[in-house]
């Protein structure tokens, strides 16, 4: 071989070797990356957690390396509120600290006697499995062999690393169970110091794991971050803070948990929906609250926490319909039926707040579900959670119905944030129940439902038609999370861009509200959430303008939904917005058992179709329906009628449209139209799609087969909707409601007993109308606050001042009844 050939051959060999090494190196890096991904998925770790675990497993004494690899500590400067109570237990039943460890403690002995005298269904604590079952058995019996078994179990306890990744319900770790069981075991007089040190070292280790995950940006506040923070605080309270490091860990854990309290003060209910709350958040949060109340001395925030617990307990009761199911919202699941998980949480809230109505509700759940009122995995806790001293025998037997007069007929939760209202005519099984929601966005399991209401009387009449099936399936993404699935308002803009992320390959312009975080969220704190209102993620939705409840008379809710939609101020598609104003007002007249809904909409263009939605189980009865597409029992129909009748079993709902005067009613439903969406935002041609792929057909949903759409008969930028809903049980309502003819800027409703007026002028105004019959009262909703109002009729003048919510109520004297007098209102 010549010299030149040798050189070329050498270069070729070197190139082949170099190429091989590069190729092998790339493959090796890919293999490492794939391996890391598989490990992350298998063990549900964040990348920083994985690196820390690898260093810890190496056996190297390198705390500085762990410090570098870990996320920056949050709440590093938090100063501990209060001080740790020296004695155990610190989480549940702190009075057991005086127990000598022999026999059943006096507190639990008293409870057992009351359970028997009240005829209450009980559960044997010693039949519970796992460390919690052994811990409960120990404090219920004082049996030293049980305490010895528990000591061995805790010494051999295998910790699960907490993570932000959901998998088989273990993503939040199990360290909190170790802490809770140890807190009860610590009452065992013969517990050796060496065992205490060993168990506490494990708890400290898992507390560090919890804090490491909480320091990461990934966990979202109204989701996993709440569960993780509660678990961390439980671990912290169980530890004796005898070192500077433990004191630092304790303070940081408290900082995280106090932000959870701030979040719950904002919403007072759970924005993901009741099922997510009760299944994965509630027990941990309430146990952590117990640790704050029972485990700290001289703490400044304890009353705040009791108030939060009281509001959460009240939410659970007021959200429960007369049929014993929670009215759901968000991505709901089976737990709306109140089985298994709800009663343990309610028992613990009752114990911590000392509120008898919560204990009475617990008895209701026992009567409703029997042994299923406590899930088998929680039955160990019954005697620790349920305090039978809270209610008298009479109240206990009567349940919540016996609390009539002690429970409000209406309440607003999360005022200024979630804006979730419940209204009812009473607490009997035949009562009318109404829910209303008009708040901001908080979580990826929330829906875009500002302005959504439901109505139940004997059976569901105006329903939430969403289901929670396949998470990224077409039904959830293109129907169930959207405004089209709710009893709210659509404003169709042809070609509106609605593609919030890559899970939305096709543009589906349903006409609803902006979709901001449908498949994931990472809100790190309440401040982070507030920073994204009107900027950043634009989590703003609806604003609460007024909430006013006058017992046995009216409940008034006024909301501004404008920012939930694309507006000229902010349009996530960059197209200048579709609405300038969307306001919805609800008034429930308690004596008449009637719901009035008044909407004012100003669109940016006259051609954007407005739709007033009402979802129903069965097809509404509407006169003179004409089929537009499909058939009479499976399609889209239209009528120029001004009223409809909704039926469900023995329940009825009369729907009367007063405005717009020229409106039509469309009825959409049947098997092929149940989830129909006009995908291009243009209903001049009915070419939409039925998104039934991935739907859930579970029995806990109110299956909505039909919906009504009231829409103006002509194109206008400004439209007012005024619709009256009159429910009936056993028969349909035949009392007449009609529009009030008014001179001036207002809309009004006349019923048999009352005249209700919605003035549209914020400042001074003048209205003139005739009293058409024997109405006894005049209601004005939407006046300026504390505004003097004068009413004149037949030479008689009355003066009132509107209340702080802009409501004025006048009694009409019998002398003017039937004379059709002219009434002049000035303000």
Q: Which residues contact 402 (CB under 8 A, 6 or more apart)?
A: 360, 394, 395
Domain of 620, CATH number, reads 2.70.98.70
On whether both 681 and 609 belong to a single domain, the answer is yes
On whether both 371 and 420 belong to a single domain, the answer is no
**Model pLDDT, residue 592:** 98
**Model pLDDT, residue 328:** 95
Spatial separation of the C-alpha atoms in residues 614 and 461, rounded to whole Å: 9
Please indicate, yes or no, if residue 462 is contained in any of the structural domains. yes
**Model pLDDT, residue 41:** 41
Query: Which strands make up the sheet holding 807-811, listed edge to edge?
Result: 738-739, 746-750, 754-759, 777-781, 807-811
On whether both 353 and 455 belong to a single domain, the answer is no
Spatial separation of the C-alpha atoms in residues 805 and 122, rounded to whole Å: 48
Strand partners, 376: none
**Model pLDDT, residue 157:** 97
**Model pLDDT, residue 42:** 37
**Model pLDDT, residue 44:** 37
Please indicate, yes or no, if residue 74 is contained in any of the structural domains. no
Please indicate, yes or no, if residue 7 is contained in any of the structural domains. no
Domain of 149, CATH number, reads 1.50.10
- Residue in this structure with the two tokens 């304890």, named with its chain if needed: 302
Please indicate, yes or no, if residue 57 is contained in any of the structural domains. no
**Model pLDDT, residue 814:** 74
**Model pLDDT, residue 405:** 82
Spatial separation of the C-alpha atoms in residues 330 and 481, rounded to whole Å: 7
CA atoms within 13 A on the CB side of 528: 16
Q: Which stretches of 44-90 are DSSP H helices? A: 47-58, 63-69
On whether both 93 and 242 belong to a single domain, the answer is yes
Spatial separation of the C-alpha atoms in residues 671 and 210, rounded to whole Å: 48
> What's the 3-state SS for 348-411?
HHHHHHCCHHHHHHHHHHHHHHHHHHCCHHHHHHHHHHCCHHHCCHHHHHHHHHHHECCECCEE
On whether both 459 and 323 belong to a single domain, the answer is no
On whether both 689 and 759 belong to a single domain, the answer is no
Instruction: Identify the segments of the chain with pLDDT beneath 50.
Output: 38-45, 49, 52-53, 55-57, 60-61, 64-66, 168
**Model pLDDT, residue 163:** 86
Quote the domain boundaries for residue 646.
410-735
**Model pLDDT, residue 51:** 52
On whether both 511 and 639 belong to a single domain, the answer is yes
Strand partners, 633: none
On whether both 275 and 127 belong to a single domain, the answer is yes
Residue pair 781/802 in contact (Cβ under 8 Å)? The answer is no
- Residue in this structure with the two tokens 């006009």, named with its chain if needed: 678
Domain boundary among 403, 419, 442: 403
Please indicate, yes or no, if residue 776 is contained in any of the structural domains. yes
Domain count, the chain: 3
Please indicate, yes or no, if residue 46 is contained in any of the structural domains. no
On whether both 612 and 667 belong to a single domain, the answer is yes
Tokens matching residue 227: 């569960």
Q: Which of 825, 824, 755, 758 is nearest to 788 (CA)?
A: 825
Please indicate, yes or no, if residue 22 is contained in any of the structural domains. no
Spatial separation of the C-alpha atoms in residues 763 and 780, rounded to whole Å: 14
Contacts 24+ apart (CB under 8 A), 190-199: 190/101, 190/144, 190/147, 191/147, 191/151, 192/151, 195/151, 195/154, 195/155, 198/155, 199/154, 199/155, 199/157
Which helix (H) or strand (E) covers residue 109, if one does? helix 106-117
**Model pLDDT, residue 630:** 98
On whether both 452 and 507 belong to a single domain, the answer is yes
Domain boundary among 670, 702, 735: 735
Domain of 821, CATH number, reads 2.60.40
Q: Print burial letters for 388-412: b (CB count within 10 Å at least 16), e (below 16).
A: bebbeeebbebbbebbeeebbbbbb
**Model pLDDT, residue 396:** 59
Per-chain mean pLDDT for the chain: 92
On whether both 538 and 642 belong to a single domain, the answer is yes
On whether both 399 and 414 belong to a single domain, the answer is no
Please indicate, yes or no, if residue 75 is contained in any of the structural domains. no
Domain boundary among 374, 403, 432: 403
């Amino acid at each position: 071989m010549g010299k030149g050939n040798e050189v070329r051959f050498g270069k070729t060999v070197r190139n082949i070797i170099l190429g091989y090494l590069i190729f092998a190196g790339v493959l090796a890096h890919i293999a490492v990356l794939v391996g890391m991904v598989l490990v992350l998925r298998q063990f549900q770790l964040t990348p920083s957690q994985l690196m820390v675990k690898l260093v810890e497993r190496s056996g190297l004494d390198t705390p500085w390396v762990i410090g570098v690899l870990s996320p920056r500590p949050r709440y590093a400067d938090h100063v501990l509120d209060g001080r740790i109570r020296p004695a155990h237990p610190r989480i549940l039943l702190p009075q057991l600290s005086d127990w000598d460890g022999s026999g059943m403690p006096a507190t639990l002995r008293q409870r057992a006697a009351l359970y028997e005298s009240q005829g209450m269904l009980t559960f044997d604590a010693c039949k519970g499995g796992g460390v919690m079952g052994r811990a409960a058995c120990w404090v219920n019996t004082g049996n030293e062999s049980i305490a010895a078994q528990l000591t061995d179990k805790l010494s051999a306890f295998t910790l699960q690393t907490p993570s932000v990744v959901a998998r088989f319900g273990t993503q939040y770790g199990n360290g909190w169970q170790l802490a809770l069981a140890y807190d009860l075991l610590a009452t065992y007089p013969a517990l050796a110091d060496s065992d205490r040190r060993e168990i506490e070292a494990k708890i400290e280790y898992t507390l560090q794991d919890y804090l490491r995950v909480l320091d990461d940006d990934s966990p979202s506040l109204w989701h996993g971050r709440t569960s993780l923070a509660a678990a961390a605080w439980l671990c912290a309270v169980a530890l004796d803070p005898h070192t500077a490091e433990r004191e630092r860990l304790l303070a940081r854990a408290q900082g995280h948990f106090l932000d959870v309290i701030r979040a719950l003060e904002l919403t007072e209910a759970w924005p993901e929906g009741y099922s997510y709350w009760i299944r994965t958040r509630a027990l941990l949060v309430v146990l952590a609250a117990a640790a704050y109340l029972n485990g700290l001395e001289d703490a400044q925030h304890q009353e705040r926490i009791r108030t939060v617990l009281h509001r959460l307990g009240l939410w659970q009761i007021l959200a429960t319909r007369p049929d014993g199911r929670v009215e759901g919202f968000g991505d709901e699941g089976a737990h709306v039926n109140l089985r298994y998980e709800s009663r343990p949480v309610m028992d613990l809230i009752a114990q911590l707040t000392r509120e008898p109505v919560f204990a009475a509700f617990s008895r209701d759940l026992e009567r409703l579900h029997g042994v299923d009122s406590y899930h088998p995995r929680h039955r160990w806790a019954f005697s620790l959670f349920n305090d039978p001293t809270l209610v008298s025998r009479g109240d206990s037997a009567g349940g919540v119905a016996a609390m009539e007069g002690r429970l409000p007929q209406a309440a607003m939760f999360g005022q200024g944030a979630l804006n979730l209202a419940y209204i009812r005519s009473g607490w009997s099984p035949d009562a009318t129940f109404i829910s209303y929601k008009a708040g901001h966005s908080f979580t990826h399991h929330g829906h875009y439902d500002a302005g959504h209401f439901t109505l139940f009387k004997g059976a569901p009449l105006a329903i939430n038609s969403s289901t929670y099936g396949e998470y990224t399936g077409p039904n959830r993404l293109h129907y169930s999370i959207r405004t089209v699935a709710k009893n709210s308002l659509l404003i169709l803009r042809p070609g509106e861009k609605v593609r919030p992320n890559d899970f939305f390959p096709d543009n589906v312009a349903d006409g609803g509200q902006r979709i901001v975080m449908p498949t994931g969220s990472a809100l790190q704190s309440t401040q982070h959430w507030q920073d994204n209102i009107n900027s950043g993620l634009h989590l703003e939705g609806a604003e609460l303008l007024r909430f006013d409840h006058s017992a046995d008379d009216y409940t008034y809710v006024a909301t501004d939904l404008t920012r939930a939609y694309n507006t000229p101020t902010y349009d996530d598609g960059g197209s200048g917005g579709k609405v300038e104003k969307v306001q919805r007002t609800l008034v429930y007249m308690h004596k008449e058992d009637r719901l009035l809904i008044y909407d004012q909409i100003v669109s940016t263009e006259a051609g954007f179709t407005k739709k007033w939605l009402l979802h129903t189980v069965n097809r509404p009865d509407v006169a003179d329906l004409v089929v537009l597409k499909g058939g009479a029992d499976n399609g889209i129909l239209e009528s120029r009628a001004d009223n409809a009748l909704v039926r469900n079993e023995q329940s009825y709902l009369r729907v009367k449209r007063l405005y717009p005067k020229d409106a039509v009613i469309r009825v959409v439903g049947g098997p092929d139209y149940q989830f129909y969406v006009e995908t291009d935002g243009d209903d001049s041609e009915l070419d939409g799609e039925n998104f039934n792929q991935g739907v859930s057909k579970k029995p806990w949903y109110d299956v909505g087969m039909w919906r009504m759409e009231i829409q103006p008969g002509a194109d206008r930028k400004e439209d007012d909707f005024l619709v009256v809903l009159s429910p009936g049980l056993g028969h349909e309502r035949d009392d007449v409601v009609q529009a009030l003819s008014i001179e001036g800027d207002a809309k009004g409703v006349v019923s048999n007993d009352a005249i209700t007026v919605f003035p549209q002028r914020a400042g001074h105004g003048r209205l003139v109308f005739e009293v058409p019959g024997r109405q006894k009262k005049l209601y004005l909703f939407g006046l300026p606050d504390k505004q003097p109002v004068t009413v004149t009729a037949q030479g008689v003048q009355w003066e009132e001042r509107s209340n702080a919510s802009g409501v004025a109520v006048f009694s009409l004297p019998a002398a003017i009844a039937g004379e059709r007098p002219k009434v002049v209102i000035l303000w």
